Structure 1
């Protein structure tokens, strides 16, 4: 383990798997104390056990990011256990249905927007007051390459991820003079459990995705995690309001 964030506290939502899990482990490996939050508490506990086996400190919290009370309790628990909050990674999200604008049901539309966009807003609503108290902090919201470009057949997902980019920019301006930096990452095709499920159920789709990536491969979740840590670190002290592409060049096409 390293000690870049040895005196810091990090909160990651959607941390039970994929990018969130990799980010929680990466923060812990750099010495941070970590709140591992997810709707699936069993997965949180697995990540916490792994962090503790590394010699780190972590706490598992069950949280539905669409419910204000649960988000508020997640933040309160972090402050109660660790005394402060320096970094927050708002990563919880869902893909929703592969459907066009007309074919989306209202139920699926509401669910995707609630989790992917409202969830990010609710998390910041309760994270930011704690950072204001200490007059510092860094937040990274996880958007997507679909937050920067159009993607046919994913109307709700694309709208939600574009919303995260816009929310990040607006909030970054609001809190810049309070020494709180707010950025976003926009991953391309990453080998997460969500993507693996799609690959395993649709023969040939992996090759199609790789062919769309200019860099010629899919990414590992830790590659996104390292970009997130970079945005939280002092090396990015003059960076706020950006939407960092971690996509192998996908959005350049």
Structure 2
């Protein structure tokens, strides 16, 4: 038997590097997975790549729209009858600029996906788990949800917001035996970091990457699998007495 045998998982941001790698690990451990993403083409590519590992369905959804969040929850219930695991993972990085140069529209966009999207996911998945009095929710935050990072005010604010929502949800859901935790990665080798590197240094993104790497004691970016392994642990019964916690997976950045 796998660590997630016969369990059903929903993963938002499911076609991205971390979402897709997490789905692969979940499937290998016996879970059924609903992948949710805004990009329909990327979702289909992800489904094709993952179908050899197990049972996957996809739902195209904008996580900032409540009707669409309600829809991906219902689609999962229609396909599998329940939700045992929710990886609340969808997120955007925003623009690299000082606060004085950040547009309110960009702030609203980042907060919309990274906070409103997390909130709506919790709002509509928690009742499903509460009814059966079990479940594990893993919210995607960032090392930037625990520290300040110059040039990334909207992103930093949003990821601090995820940490706060996680604590509240953990306290509210504990009586139903639902666990809610957040993960806080360092820079990870994904599309998001390529975008941020270009934002930090448009003329030399590689130099920006080297500077970011210098801040990580283990002297490398994380890989999607590094994050997915932690999410798998938090999704499994191995973490059944853990809730309301913030898990760093940051190569030692928090030790300084």
The CA distance in 2 between the partners of 1:52 and 1:21, in whole Å, is: 12
Question: In structure 2, what is the equivalent of residue 204 of structure 1?
Answer: 207
Q: Is the 8 A contact 1:144 1:161 kept in 2?
A: yes
SS at 1:203's partner residue? helix
SS at 2:21's partner residue? helix
SS at 2:243's partner residue? coil
What are the ranges of 5 or more consecutive residues in structure 1 without an aligned counterpart? none
The CA distance in 2 between the partners of 1:131 and 1:203, in whole Å, is: 44
The CA distance in 1 between the partners of 2:197 and 2:93, in whole Å, is: 14
Question: In structure 1, what is the equivalent of residue 220 of structure 2?
Answer: 217
Q: Is the 8 A contact 1:25 1:47 kept in 2?
A: no
TM-score, L = length of structure 1: 0.96
SS at 1:153's partner residue? coil
1:233 aligns with 2:232: no
What are the ranges of 5 or more consecutive residues in structure 2 without an aligned counterpart? none
Question: In structure 1, what is the equivalent of residue 46 of structure 2?
Answer: 47
Aligned residues: 251
Question: In structure 2, what is the equivalent of residue 187 of structure 1?
Answer: 185
The CA distance in 2 between the partners of 1:197 and 1:110, in whole Å, is: 19
Q: CA RMSD in A?
A: 1.2
Question: In structure 1, what is the equivalent of residue 153 of structure 2?
Answer: 155
**Which is worse superposed, 193-202 or 234-243?**
193-202
Q: Deviations over 1:149-187 (max 9, x none)?
A: 011111110000000000100110011111000000000
1:251 aligns with 2:254: yes
**Where do 4+ consecutive residues of structure 1 move more than 4 Å?**
197-201
SS at 2:112's partner residue? helix
SS at 2:99's partner residue? coil
Question: In structure 2, what is the equivalent of residue 88 of structure 1?
Answer: 86
